[in-house]
Every structure is written in structure tokens, then in C-alpha cells.
Amino acid sequence: MSMPQVPPPPPLVTPLAAAPTELPIRQIPGSYGWPLVGPMSDRLDYFWFQKPESFFRKRMEKYKSTVFRTNVPPSFPFFVNVNPNVITLLDCKSFSHLFDMDLVEKKDVLVGDFVPSVAFTGNMRVSVYQDTSEPQHSKVKSYIMDILKRGSGKWALEVVSNLDIMLDSIEATLSKSSSASYLFLLQQFLFTFLCKALAGADPSRDPKIAESGYAMLNRWLALQLLPTVSIGFLQPLEEIFLHSFAYPFFLVSGDYNNLYNFIKQQGKETINRGETGFGLSEEEAIHNLLFVLGFNSFGGFTIFLPSLIEAIANGSISLQEKLRKEAREKGGSTLTFDSVKEMELIQSIVYETLRMNPPVPLQYGRARKDFQLTSYDARFDVKKGELLCGFQKLVMRDPQVFEEPETFKPDRFTGEKGAQLLNYLYWSNGPQTGSPSVSNKQCAGKDVVTLTAALIVAHLFRRYDVIKGDATSITALKKA
């Protein structure tokens, strides 16, 4: 099923190009349905009968528009304070309004109108739930950007050294079996290097954390997100038990307290910077650091990296030859963030993976005021307080921007044309060409994420000639 055909966009110069005033004003199509009945029907379609991608595609085709009204979970019966009504945005032009802080606010809209209990974050609203207009947002985002900047020197070293531990384990398994599952090994790798690079905390100093820290984060993440995601469980059991109510914090309070105390004891230098440099209390520094480490970094990489590994391990022999050649001929003898910037194809395959499978599927923003939203073919009146929702997997397949949008093209983002397309790569709550700042909500670690992923790909092809596998398992590794 294809996206509706609409007039071509203006030249690819800026993702926030001004809208032509001659575009017709159109009423936003779609309906929220009857109270309770409409949200429940949409919820069942979203999770059960259609699944998210088909849910949005079918409505886009029905309304002949990439902008329409619908409901998104969670909803009835036990989410009585959650309004599922959204205005859906499914093209690059309309979606870009979500980054304009003059038009939208980001207060408590990380996962829509639903907000997990603040008990999950130490009874405080961490920065990700704060709007740019809130004073605390500026303090915390400055703190996180400072951590990333200070840690950049050791980040690459931690990635490579801990990645080698993971790869050694995979090789050991493959020596005795035809396949090696790597998901838990990947999470252990992520947890260890992120703790060291972000918090300056070494998990090996705490045996309980070293063994189970990644599992503690998994459980903490899962209970916050279960009402909003599908896990492929047997229906209708998933609907009854996973999507009907919010889970209480006490189920993972022990896990979170263990992680909190670990960061408090082992990450003292990083925490002190939050207190002395940015005016945060110890508790504010730790809870925000834990959220960035666990939700943004660990959670995001856990979703993203298997897709990247599958793209490589399922790639053609000729693609792997090109990646191997670039990884070995460019960047010098030691891999760093600066050296992988020389590897255009490796960076492109990272970007293309983010385009096809963005780790955060939905982005939200609430109208700060009445304004006119524009798509390619029309203008729409949006009222103050209405919730806007963009499904990134379809936005990033906008045929008006990306040629053959449903096809994975490893070299899509190479050359001058590829560089222009980065204006429309929106996975980080902003364009890839944008700069995170205290005045926007773009991911503070946007560039660190893409460079880390490129570093991993480069290291894999310096260590191996051939890699075979998928998003869960490695089936063959031919050492260099």
C-alpha cells in the first residue's frame, strides 16, 4: 500500500520551509468516534487486528490524507485520565511542526497523553517530560550535554573493549553451535559501557549489578511502556493483561533502588558535576542520569542495534566487501568518533537503518496555541491543547522526499544528495542536521548515537571478513 500521491515538496533545503499561502484550507479528516467505543475500537485495531503500521496506513488511505484524527492507546477501561484523541501526522512536512517550540509544547507527552507514575523516576518529573519553557529543563539538558561532551574521549574505548568481550562470547558459542543468540549479550555490553561512559560507574565493582543490572533496567523499562507497546503475546491475553491498566512501581522498586544506589556510590564525580556545575540536587542528578542511561540510551540502543546488525548480517557479499574495505582503509589505526566520520558508507547504513526502523516509533507534541499546520497539499487549523502524533516509520517513508521509500538502500545518505536528505531524518526528535540545545527537545545524544553505531560497524569489519545472522542471532563469523 502506497502513501497518497501529493504535489512534490520544495527543494530539500530545510525541514521547516515556509508553507505556501496558496494551499487550500482543509478540515482535518477522521473522527474519534463515540466516547469509549471509538477509543476501544481503535485500540483493538492498533494492537490486535491491524498492528501499528497497518493501522496508520489504512486510515491514511481511507481519508486520502497524511493528516487525520484518530485515537492511539492507551485508553479505556482503566486509563480514565488519559485522552487518546490525536491529530496524526504522516508526512515529513507536517511532522516537522513537532520540532517548532513556538507551536508545540512537550510537557508530559513522551508517550502521548499517558504518563507513567513519577514513582518510576524518584517521584520527580525528569527532564524528558519537561517542556523547554520549564527552568529545570535547561539545567538538566545542559548537564546531560556536558556529560556527553566530557565522556566522548573515553566513549569509543569503552565501546570497543566491551564489544570485544561480547564478540568473544559469540565466537565461543559458534564453536559449539550453528547459531549464537546475542540479545542478552548485547544488553550486557550496552549496560556496561554506558555505565562507564555516561556515569563513570564501573558495574564490575558491584557483583549484583554486574550480573543483573541490564535485567533490572529491562524490568523497569517494561513496566512503564507495556500499556503502549505490543509484544506479540497471545491475544486476547495481551489486551486483557498488558494494555488495560498501568503497572505499579512497587513491582520494580527493588531493581530501581539497586540501580540508584549503584550510581550514587560509583558515579560520584558525575553526580557532583550536576550539583556544582548546574545547580541540581543529588537526587535530581541521579534520577535524570538514570533515565538518560536506562530509557534513552540503553532502551534506544537495545531496539536500534539489532536492526542494524540484521541489515549488515543479511546484506549481500558485495555490501560487506564495501563496508570492510572502508572500515580498514579509512580512519587510521585506532577507531574514534573522528575516524568513523571518514566512513561515508558506514554512516549511511546507520542512517538508513534509523530511517527504516526508528527506535522511537511515535513522537508527540501539544499545540501551544492555535495555528495552521501544513502538509504538501493543504493547510489545517489546529486548536491550542490538541495533541499531535507522528508515526515515524511512515514519516520516514515519505515518497515526496525519499526515492523508493520502502527499499533499504545502504548508500542512500552518501554524496551531496544524501547529505541533503539528512534534513529529513527525524529519528531524534529533530532533523539529523539539527543541533540539540536547551531551547529544543532534540535528543542530547543524537550524534553520539550515530557515531557509536558507526564505530560498532567499523569494528566488526576490522575484526571479521564476513558476518551472517539476523536481528536475534549470529550464524557465522569469518575472522579477518
φ, ψ (nearest 5 deg) of residue 374: -120, 140
* 195 annotated ligand binder: no
Q: Give the three cell numbers for residue 471.
A: 536481528
Q: Does residue 118 contact residue 124 with C-beta atoms inside 8 Å?
A: yes
CB 271 within 8 A of CB 286: yes
Classify residue 114 by its DSSP letter: B
Report the distance separating Cα 285 and Cα 282, nearest Å. Answer: 5
Cα separation of 301 and 307, whole Å? 10
- 159-164, long-range: CB < 8 A, 24+ apart: 159/193, 159/197, 159/452, 159/455, 159/456, 159/459, 160/335, 160/455, 160/459, 161/193, 162/189, 162/192, 162/193, 162/196, 163/189, 163/193, 163/456, 163/459, 164/463
DSSP string, 125-174: --GGGS-TTSHHHHHHHHHHHHHHHHHHHHHHHHHHHHHHHHHHHHHHHH
For every residue of 55-111, DSSP letters joined together read HHHHHHHHHTSSEEEEE-SS-SSS-TT---EEEEE-SHHHHGGGG-TTTEE-TT-TB
Alpha carbons 471 and 402: distance in angstroms, whole number: 25
Complete DSSP assignment for 1-39: -PPPP-PPPSPTT-TTPPPPTTSPB-PPPB---STTHHH
Contact 363, 390 (CB under 8 A): yes
User: Between the CA of residue 358 and those of 16, 302, 307, 362, 476, what are the distances in Å?
Assistant: 20, 12, 9, 9, 27
* Strand-pair partners of 380: 373
Q: Are 229 and 293 in contact (CB under 8 A)?
A: no
Question: What is the number of residues in the chain?
Answer: 480
Residues that constitute the known binding site:
443
List the binding residues for heme: 443
